[in-house]
Amino acid sequence: MAFDACMLRAVLDEINREFPDARIEKVTQPANDEIDLLIHSGRRSSRLVFNFGPTSPRLQLSSIAKENPKQAPMFCMLLRKYLTGARITRAEQLGFDRIAIFHLSCYDELGFPTERKIVSEIMGKYANLIVLDADGKILGAAKVIDFAASTVRQVLPGMKYQIPAVAEKLLPMSIERDGFLKALAAYPAERGADRFITQTYSGVAVQIARELVYRASGAIDTPLDRVDKERFFSVLSEWSSLLKAHSYTPTAIIGADGVPTDYSYMDITYLGGAGKKTVSNSFAELFDMYFSERDRAERIKQRGRDLVNLVTGGIARAERKLALQRQSQKESEGAEEYRLAGDLITANIYRLSRGMASFECDNYYDESCPRVTVALDERLSPSQNAQRAYKRYSKLKTAGEIMKRQIELTLGELAYLKSVRGFLERAESEDDLIEIREELYAAGYAARMKGYRSSKRTPRRPLTLSTSGGYTLLVGRNNTQNDRLTFKLAERHDIWFHTKDIPGSHVIMQTGGEEPSERDYTEAAAVAAYFSQATSDTVAVDYTEVKNIKKPSGAKPGFVIYKTNFTAFVRRSLGEEIAKNG
């Protein structure tokens, strides 16, 4: 659901209750559209997250420490100047809209006590974070809005803060019978009851409106004139009481693939069996669970956008090149026809003369000896026609051999770039991106990386997991690490795993010279299936001892060859389970 005014009310209640008179210890900006304040109250610490991005703006407490850029952005430096050391005296909701104001007690530059305010506007693509002084003047804003951007409302340093204009609606906390019946009578009866709720009461998300209509009528799209008034009023009254009493139920909806698809401050019943519901102990826990993976992927996507563009463009170019090469190879397949024509002309040269356009003869080179027609160039003599046919044969045959080698090279490059794309999709940190940059640099793609210079740094350790039998699994995070893992870290008798004909990570099971159980082999192969670009649940995985793995001279990172191996068919979902459990 959207982060509506009701959800903001619930979150502010949790902040005021859990962290009264909290002190701001630190200000960080892990992403362009997010500010995190490390706050401390009593013996407890937490992170107060202000997300003002267009996709998932929100306000929340969080226990997740995020990776920050080495150099803080300007807005973060400004907030550190004004907010570090300040105490949050109270947090309130402005006009029951998606606007939160945090009142701060702090000291100015001269050391005198003063007040400041943090204004969090959680309004979709217009979301913003603004800092005010004691007089309500703007000290700084995440998104500066000048007169060119808007003639209605500007957000500029030095200007007086203006509250965004909002439509006048009824408050959900003050639902009473007379007002409800009056609003009901004035609203078009043929329209949906959910629209009546969103257009009559302030700060209500569509999902909550549908839930309330479902509780009143048994369906989410019931027209207003088909909803029982008394039942409808009873449901809205219960909802109003929930908001007034701050009796919330932090709920998440989990899809069939295990990924959370929605969240709410109250129980959601209208989905039926379409999703699994989980209830969290707090909104901080709810949002950490819901947004952690989504935010991580978005941050990595932003920081690695140039790499994604480089690899995606490289894949597209390689695929176009491959199509042209295969077309040329197909054309070269007609080489034998020209050789046959040359042989037949030579065999029948005694009865041919210049000026003939064609001739018929028996094809002595075919067991059935059929009659065939051989085309000639009238301008050439019979011997010149034969020489011309042999030249065309030689040219096409050579082109075919060259194209075969070129296709092999292009397929190798395509497989390599697809493997890099897979590692980019699974990158978890800035260090992962740095190693992939290093890999592409070493592989000869530096010319397409603007101003990039290789840096000397300590290589990251591979991902480490364990089988149920206690054997350590080492998983490569990129192709360079795959090579280092297989040829430097692994012992000769360790077991190497990799998906068959599918790009993915090298997985090493360290055996210490022992023979693992069948279960351990299965789990290691499943991990290799999970850390690959396989899409189906049943995946073929090759495995063999490390001593059987060879790397051809000049091959790209991650490319190896082997002959002695076994193949196991395993479930990718088992590997996912092992990876999540560590």
Under the banding of pLDDT at 50, 70 and 90, the label for residue 458 is low
pLDDT of residue 307: 84
pLDDT of residue 346: 92
104 neighbors 86 (Cβ within 8 angstroms):
yes
pLDDT tens for residues 238-275? 999 999 999 999 999 887 766 788 899 999 888 876 77
18 neighbors 80 (Cβ within 8 angstroms):
no
Under the banding of pLDDT at 50, 70 and 90, the label for residue 553 is confident
pLDDT tens for residues 479-495? 989 999 999 999 999 99
Distances 332 to 280, 328, 329, 398 between C-alpha atoms, Å: 66, 6, 5, 9
Distances 31 to 34, 39, 68, 135, 297 between C-alpha atoms, Å: 5, 19, 8, 30, 12
d(CA 315, CA 317): 5
Residue 330 belongs to what H/E stretch? helix 305-332
pLDDT of residue 451: 57
Span 70-76, mean pLDDT? 91
d(CA 340, CA 468): 65
**pLDDT of 193 over the 90 cut:** yes
Q: Which amino acid is at 374?
A: V
Span 104-124, mean pLDDT? 93
129 neighbors 100 (Cβ within 8 angstroms):
no
Percent of the chain with pLDDT over 70: 95
Under the banding of pLDDT at 50, 70 and 90, the label for residue 457 is low
d(CA 164, CA 152): 9
Q: Which of 120, 448, 539 is nearest to 130 (CA)?
A: 120
pLDDT of residue 113: 94
Q: Which residue has the higher pLDDT, 461 or 161?
A: 161
| Residue where the block lists tokens 């090279």 | 409
pLDDT tens for residues 217-242? 999 999 998 999 999 999 999 999 99
Domain boundaries, the chain: 5-141, 172-299, 310-420, 463-581
For CA atoms 374, 380, 382, 387, the dihedral sign is negative
What value does the CA radius of gyration of the chain take, rounded to a whole number of Å?
A: 35
DSSP 19: S
d(CA 355, CA 207): 85
pLDDT tens for residues 273-294? 677 888 999 999 999 988 876 6
Read off φ and ψ for residue 14, nearest 5 degrees. -65, -40
pLDDT of residue 19: 95
Structure tokens at 238: 């219960």
Highest mean pLDDT among 330-344, 453-467, 542-556: 542-556
Q: Which fold has domain 5-141?
A: ibrinogen binding protein from staphylococcus aureus fold (2.30.310)
Q: Which of 339, 328, 399 is nearest to 365 (CA)?
A: 339
Residue 23 belongs to what H/E stretch? strand 22-31
Strand order in the sheet with 251-254: 260-264, 251-254, 276-279
Read off φ and ψ for residue 86, nearest 5 degrees. -75, 155
Question: Euclidean distance between the first and final Cα of the chain, in Å?
Answer: 31
Distances 238 to 155, 229, 245 between C-alpha atoms, Å: 39, 14, 10
pLDDT of residue 447: 59
d(CA 8, CA 10): 5
Span 338-349, mean pLDDT? 91
Under the banding of pLDDT at 50, 70 and 90, the label for residue 127 is very high
pLDDT of residue 456: 62
Residues 6 or more apart in contact with residue 526 via CB below 8 angstroms: 541, 570, 571, 572, 574, 575, 578
Strand order in the sheet with 113-121: 58-62, 44-51, 34-41, 22-31, 87-93, 99-107, 113-121, 128-132, 138-141
Q: Burial level of 340, CB count in 10 A (0-12/13-18/19+)?
A: middle
pLDDT tens for residues 163-190? 988 778 999 998 999 999 999 999 998 8
pLDDT of residue 308: 84
79 neighbors 36 (Cβ within 8 angstroms):
no
d(CA 444, CA 563): 29
Under the banding of pLDDT at 50, 70 and 90, the label for residue 309 is confident
Q: Which amino acid is at 579?
A: A
**pLDDT of 449 over the 70 cut:** no
Read off φ and ψ for residue 360, nearest 5 degrees. -110, 145
Buried b (16+ CB within 10 A) or exposed e, 278-310: eebebbbbbbbbbbeeebbebbbeebbeebbeb
pLDDT of residue 297: 65
Structure tokens at 426: 């699974």
| Residue where the block lists tokens 């395993």 | 570
Q: Which amino acid is at 367?
A: E
